[in-house]
Structure 1
Amino acid sequence: MSTVTPAKGEGPAPVSTESLAALLLAEERPPRPGALSASLTFGWRAILKIKHVPEQLFDVTAFPIMMVLMYTYLFGGALAGSPTEYLQFLLPGILVMSVVMITMYTGVSVNTDIEKGVFDRFRTLPIWRPSTMVGYLLGDALRYTIASVVMLTVGLLLGYRPDGGAGGVVAGIALLIVFSFAFSWVWTMFGLLLRTEKSVMGVSMMVIFPLTFLSNVFVDPRTMPGWLQAFVNNNPVTHLASAVRGLMAGEWPAAAVAWSLGWTAVFVLVFGPVTMRLYNRK
């Protein structure tokens, strides 16, 4: 039996290695956390980051309000005769545009944590490996919900009236959040692939601006040239805006909803595995 013998007058009494091992192994190891519990834990971590840095809510509060006011009164009179009438068409589209644009900050957050070395600690944990990324996206889903509520509140104050009632509004927001969750996988890939936060932001802008502005968010695509209609009509943001607009209007745009859910599946099935491959190699 080997013992640890301290110097005279220093430290605790000698302890045998056998008794120390028995003490450390006296209790059973805690069970390994499941995929859901690990993902929810990292999602809660993302929410706590918002609590400690409330400035992160600026893009889901002030930005949506500015977008609704600016585009309603800038284009309303010219395109629809009055801002209130144009708002009935614009609000669901601008809601989609604002939330989809907010998704790119997921990649920025991932890249920032990588630079700080946070992910090096996460990789040593005995958890489901994708839970770190899923947690980011779950936390951001709260931000998308806040942005949606803020924009709808402003729209109602300005005169927007959804014919679909509360049910249509909830269905439209739910579809938007599900789509945004899937679309965020694109930005997590960029967050892992690019070296700096500025690079992630720059590339994200180059991708997201054509998708959001070359869509039916602001005007009906039938007024556009034929070659541009071909792109706009096959744009995932166009399908999503049409689906949300229809649901809030009390309709059931089956084709637009199906296209939106199809794009959601494509983003998860394509960019999810690519993101995890980059994460495992990082």
Structure 2
Amino acid sequence: MLDFIKRALRNPTPKLYGLDHAILNHTNNFPEACEALLEQVLTAALSKETKSIKILDVGCGCGDQSLYLLKTLGSQNAKNEEPSHLEIQSPNQNLRHRSTNKSLPTLTSYLGITLEHTQAGLAKSRINQSNPSIPAKIFCGNASIPSNWPAELSSLVNTSNDLKDESTWLLALDTLYHFQPSRVPLLAHAVTLQASFMAFDLLIGESVTWWEKLLLRIVCLGTNAPFGNFITEKEYVDMLVAVGYEREKIEVRDVSKFVFAGLAGFLAVSKEYGMPMGKFGMARRVFDWWAVTGVVRGAVVVARV
């Protein structure tokens, strides 16, 4: 959730995925937990997809999720990829199941965009070194303002639906609540591109007191996340409908109980990874607060065209 968490975690353990949130209830391994969260988003969005897909990944960071997607869904690798060995719990079920990518479609091209030059440079280098089997490019730019995207990215995205047997998906993992001034310009642009939408995002609870809202405003100030981005599930669905998605094709899954408590527990033992607890004490308290009260909810969101 907080940028400084993933940056600090990256230093002692450089292979960690660049996601702020993770599913840590069923594993103490942070990279596996991040993969599990990504798999939850992919499964919710793509398990019924019948076409091959192109992905536009906004807020792709240092390329961790990029490499994972290229490895597991890339056209030459997807068929031979083994299912994940991590058992995770389905958000809508009481049964545990093994996540697998065998039922997911083939990825034919990947485009990523991230705001920071250093992250974009690192992501480009890592992808080039991985020698991907499909076209994959990383761009530096402000994903929240599509009109300011690099010209090459805009050109590639605008021609992404030329083939009838391919679908375009906008992927936003744990990033949209940072977008300024809001998520709306990006989502509206996605509709014009005929792109479906899949994300892990943060919502505000349905019954939040004025005092809890005040505390959340303070958290937002410290994390450079606009308070206005924290909206209820109903408001989120209404926003997607307003930009052009059909209400019947929108799905929201609450995965809070698999995220916040486990992440708080992970930070509580961060000293085992060579990191002083003081560095993460406030973040741990915030996650504990969210886990107990439901002031903020973590959700997998899918909207299909």
Q: Same fold (TM over 0.5)?
A: no
- Provide TM-score, normalisation by structure 2: 0.25
Which structure: greater helix fraction? 1
- Provide TM-score, normalisation by structure 1: 0.27
Structure 1 or 2, whichever has the larger Rg, is 1
Which structure: greater strand fraction? 2
RCO comparison, higher one (Cα < 8 Å, 6+)? 1
